[in-house]
Amino acid sequence: MRPITRTISAAVIGFAVGAGAVSGGLFAYNQMNPNASAALSLSTRQVKTPYASVATATPSTLPLGPDTIANVVKRDGPAVVKIVATVPQSTSLSSSPYFNQFFGSLFGNGLPVTPQSTVQTDIGSGFFINSRGYLLTNDHVIHGATKIQVYVPGYSKAFTASRVGTDYASDLAVLKISAPKPVPYLVLGNSNQTPVGGWVVAIGNPYDLSHTVTEGVISAKGRPLTIGNRHYRNLLQTSAAINPGNSGGPLLNLAGQVVGINTAVSTQGQGIGFAIPTSTVEQILPQLIKYGHVIRPWLGVFIVTDTKNIAHQDGLATSHGVVIVSVEPNSPAENAGLRSGEIITQVNGQTVTSDTQLKNLIDKMKVGQTATITVNNQGKTLTKTVTIGQEPNGPITPPSSTPSF
């Protein structure tokens, strides 16, 4: 995993401000460009899985005009839900530097959680991905919850949801409710084809204000971000106004297709929100539905990559490879005899020069596969055999800000 070179964090709740009134701008655009409008064309295909089918679609656009966003909301709004999760809680979160940095979980309806609290209520958003009641949200919205309730437009009472699959690393979760009739659902668009500067619409439940709509643009793509023990490698940055309670809700293009799942916000500035792109969702979703989790190969070491400088400072015998800072207990690395202070120089005979290369080599392997790890231990070259394990579906706490594999 490439070190996070630019982490956005803050100690207090902030507000992301939208990009302004898009309707007027689009109306002016249409007046100047009467031929710019394109008819909506949703060519959907069904991705089959053992438990559900998820709708995806080729990119398309609605006619640009003053009612574009209103039309998107009218069509897609009924598929967006409010999620209320009951989570046992015995310690205060208000002292955490990351308290409420996710703009999803509205901890205690915005009130600080005291040490006397034994239960907290997290409020987030989600949306249906097929007519059978399967819905997508963030893992952090429902993580640790003993009860998950879903409020669906058109129904006076909440549905109790069951977990289909969760993934801590990608911060995605699939839930399911049993509705008396088919539910409306959203189509997954192509985030790779969503341009920087493209208009987007967010629908969610900020501060328990149900079905709040905001708009903005895609400000940037491929943003890395670290919040607590979660390391996001590839996020969409948006200027759409996002607040606590929006987490898990859809970020939509002007065709009404989901291009991202709203996930985090910077409290240090205005108009800086982040969403998980659908390119990531499409990789994770099939495994969540089929297995209930994501199968990832795992070694279990924490490493640093400034090997040359460390070698100079500590008198190491080589400046080549990556240094093991710590080994996760009961991990494949510990079972293979890998130790902190050793330098990984090769994996299966391939030279290791960076953390990114090490991650790529591990990611290409399968759980249960045997690998040969060459290390330098105080000037001695050693070869150790490791059986690649499965990454735990939960937080892995490193000894510092070092990446784990």
Active site residues: 140, 171, 247
Pairing of strands 389-390, 350-351: unpaired
Instruction: Give me the DSSP letters along 118-168.
Output: -EEEEEEEEEESSTTSEEEE-HHHHTT-SEEEEE-TT-SSPEEPEEEEEET
Closest by CA to 132, choosing from 188, 183, 77, is 183
User: Helix crossing, 68-76 with 22-32: angle to 10°?
Assistant: 120
- Longest distance between any two alpha carbons in the chain, whole Å: 74
d(CA 328, CA 330): 6
d(CA 128, CA 145): 20
d(CA 177, CA 136): 11
d(CA 209, CA 101): 18
Alpha-carbon torsion (113, 119, 123, 129), positive or negative: positive
Among the residues of 2-97, which ranges form H helices?
22-32, 68-76
- Counting every residue written for the chain, the total comes to 405
Cβ contact 242:214 at 8 Å: yes
Q: Which two tokens stand for residue 33?
A: 């460009």
